[in-house]
């Protein structure tokens, strides 16, 4: 039945009725061929919303990838089926919002020392969803912030690397940092950047001469660099030493805020966002380095949409400006442990407090 379902999804022959019959007969909605192409990818590339809906409802994962790293989202957008892209996006966002909430509640309960296996029906539902999403792809960097902050960093002309040889910051990001800085400084005013790195965005912010310029940085090696480069003595610049989590009380409110740390994950970003209503002045603009899911464009868009909805609940409205990215030359990754950018576009976030 699974092979027949695959054929129907590919050709559309028999339509929704055939799909439903085959699913009832036990066909696997997530069936894939040897190249990793799934029923959902075929339905998406034909823009067949009804069949896509039936497959998703039957449990077809929205995030499966073919051998080349494409998801159903890429199949739909590659064929210009905007309705199919929207359907997948909405499905993915809802699924990830629910999974994220469940994951947080599970962590809270295990941190509170609650015993496992006594949670009743709610817990069983949660386990079922977790089992269904075992290889959930949407995840952020997992390196520990504490380990990073306790280890050495090394600067060269074009990179800042950590003790593992992972890139913390690279010069190729400069044009993006220029765009972020111009957006944040548009209204002049008071601007804060969290995470100095190579000082690229701070150099750009300084070139716009804002009323005040606050920099939050936690790494001793980076702080030493800032001291050597004279950042502590620049007029209008205030350096706040420490992890942003630990120095919140020393901060004011700002017209522009940029966030770009390292060794932190999606939960840290969410945590920072919880403080934005207090940190942003009315009409203040916030932006962050959008390296969310840097291996897959559709996942990046899904994650961006989740953040947009979360910020909306705080009266902060987000839009993304797509910036086309030319492929980066292989040579720039020489000596770097992992390549951290693969996407054809950078979705520049602009989040405005209402
Ligand atoms: C990717 S770099 C920032 C690059 C910067 N945007 C630029 O233009 O060069 C990240 C920086 O965040 C700092 N950092 C990491 N965790 C931090 C935290 N919890 N609080 C403050 N700074 C942190 C790192 O030490 C590093 O300097």
Q: Is the CB of 288 under 6 A from ligand 1?
A: no
The pLDDT assigned to 17 comes to: 97
Q: How far apart are the first and last CA of the chain?
A: 53
The pLDDT assigned to 112 comes to: 76
In the chain the beta strands, taken as DSSP E runs, fall at 153-155, 159-162, 167-170, 190-194, 212-217, 237-241, 254-259, 280-288, 316-324, 345-353
Q: Is the CB of 215 under 6 A from ligand 1?
A: no
Kindly indicate the confidence band of residue 5, based on its pLDDT and cuts at 50, 70 and 90. very high
**69-99 pLDDT tens trace:** 999 999 999 999 999 999 999 999 999 999 9
The pLDDT assigned to 188 comes to: 86
The mean pLDDT value for 270-284 works out to 97
Q: Is the CB of 222 under 6 A from ligand 1?
A: yes
Determine the distance separating the centroid of ligand 1 and the alpha carbon of 288, expressed in angstroms.
11
Cα–Cα distance for residue pair 233/208, rounded to 1 Å: 18
- What is the separation of C-alpha 219 from the centre of its chain, rounded to a whole number of angstroms? 23
The pLDDT assigned to 123 comes to: 42
CATH match for 145-353 among 3.30.2010.10, 1.10.630.10, 3.10.330.20, 3.40.50.150: 3.40.50.150
The pLDDT assigned to 113 comes to: 66
The answer to whether residue 209 scores a pLDDT higher than 60 is yes
**30-67 pLDDT tens trace:** 999 999 999 999 999 999 999 999 999 999 999 999 99
At residue 232, the 3 state secondary structure works out as: helix
Where along the chain do its domains lie? Answer: 1-137, 145-353
Q: Among the atoms of ligand 1, which is closest to the Cα of residue 160?
A: 2
Best CA proximity match to 195, nearest among 228, 163, 157, 169:
169
Q: Among the atoms of ligand 1, which is closest to the Cα of residue 222?
A: 27
Cα–Cα distance for residue pair 236/132, rounded to 1 Å: 53
The mean pLDDT value for 296-312 works out to 96
The pLDDT assigned to 114 comes to: 58
Q: Among the atoms of ligand 1, which is closest to the Cα of residue 247?
A: 20
Q: What number of other Cβ atoms are within 10 A of residue 277's Cβ?
A: 14
The pLDDT assigned to 108 comes to: 86
Cα–Cα distance for residue pair 297/341, rounded to 1 Å: 11
Instruction: Supply the residue whose CA is at minimum distance from atom 2 of ligand 1.
Output: 197
Q: Which two tokens stand for residue 125?
A: 């539902």
Determine the distance separating the centroid of ligand 1 and the alpha carbon of 285, expressed in angstroms.
19
The pLDDT assigned to 228 comes to: 98
The pLDDT assigned to 348 comes to: 98
Cα–Cα distance for residue pair 303/164, rounded to 1 Å: 27
Task: Return the bridge partners of 316, or none.
Answer: 353
**114-124 pLDDT tens trace:** 554 434 343 43
Instruction: Supply the residue whose CA is at minimum distance from atom 13 of ligand 1.
Output: 195
CATH match for 1-137 among 1.25.40.20, 2.40.50.140, 1.10.530.10, 2.30.30.40: 1.25.40.20
The answer to whether residue 105 scores a pLDDT higher than 70 is yes
Instruction: Supply the residue whose CA is at minimum distance from atom 18 of ligand 1.
Output: 243
Kindly indicate the confidence band of residue 111, based on its pLDDT and cuts at 50, 70 and 90. confident
Q: Is the CB of 197 under 6 A from ligand 1?
A: yes
Q: Is the CB of 231 under 6 A from ligand 1?
A: no
Spatial neighbors of 140 by CB under 8 A, at least 6 apart, are 264, 265, 266, 269, 292, 293
Supply the DSSP symbol for 186: T
**Sheet of 254-259: strands edge to edge?**
237-241, 212-217, 190-194, 254-259, 280-288, 345-353, 316-324
**128-174 pLDDT tens trace:** 434 434 344 444 444 589 999 999 999 999 999 999 999 999 999 99
The mean pLDDT value for 216-227 works out to 98
């Amino acid at each position: 039945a699974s092979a027949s379902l695959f054929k129907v999804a590919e050709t559309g022959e028999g339509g929704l009725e055939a799909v439903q019959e085959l699913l009832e007969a036990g066909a696997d909605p997530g069936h894939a061929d040897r190249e990793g192409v799934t029923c959902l990818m075929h339905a998406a590339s034909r823009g067949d919303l009804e069949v896509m809906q039936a497959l998703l409802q039957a449990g077809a994962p929205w995030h499966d990838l073919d051998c080349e790293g494409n998801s159903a989202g890429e199949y739909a957008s590659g064929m210009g089926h905007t309705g199919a892209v929207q359907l997948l996006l909405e499905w993915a966002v809802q699924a990830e919002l629910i999974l994220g909430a469940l994951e947080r509640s599970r962590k809270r309960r295990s941190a509170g020392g609650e015993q496992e296996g006594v949670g009743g029906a709610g817990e069983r539902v949660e386990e079922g969803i977790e089992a269904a999403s075992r290889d959930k792809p949407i995840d952020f960097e997992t390196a520990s912030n504490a380990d990073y902050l306790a280890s050495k960093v090394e600067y060269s002309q074009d990179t800042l690397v950590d003790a593992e040889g992972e890139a913390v910051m690279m010069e190729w990001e400069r044009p993006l940092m220029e765009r972020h800085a111009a957006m944040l400084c548009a209204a002049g005013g008071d601007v804060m950047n969290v995470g100095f790195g190579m000082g690229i965005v701070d150099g750009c912010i300084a070139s716009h001469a804002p009323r005040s310029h606050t920099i939050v940085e936690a790494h001793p090696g980076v702080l030493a660099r800032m001291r050597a480069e004279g950042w502590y003595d620049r007029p209008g610049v205030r350096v706040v030493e420490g992890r942003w989590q630990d120095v919140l009380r020393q901060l004011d409110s700002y017209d522009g805020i940029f966030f770009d740390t390292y060794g932190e994950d999606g939960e840290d970003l969410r945590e920072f966002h919880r403080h934005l209503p207090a940190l942003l002045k009315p009409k203040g603009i916030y932006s962050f380095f959008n390296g969310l899911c840097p291996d897959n464009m559709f996942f990046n868009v899904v994650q961006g949409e989740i953040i947009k909805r979360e910020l909306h609940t705080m009266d902060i409205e987000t839009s993304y400006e797509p910036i086309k990215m030319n492929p980066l030359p292989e040579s720039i990754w020489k000596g770097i442990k992992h390549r951290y950018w693969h996407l054809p576009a950078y979705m520049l976030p602009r989040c405005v407090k209402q």
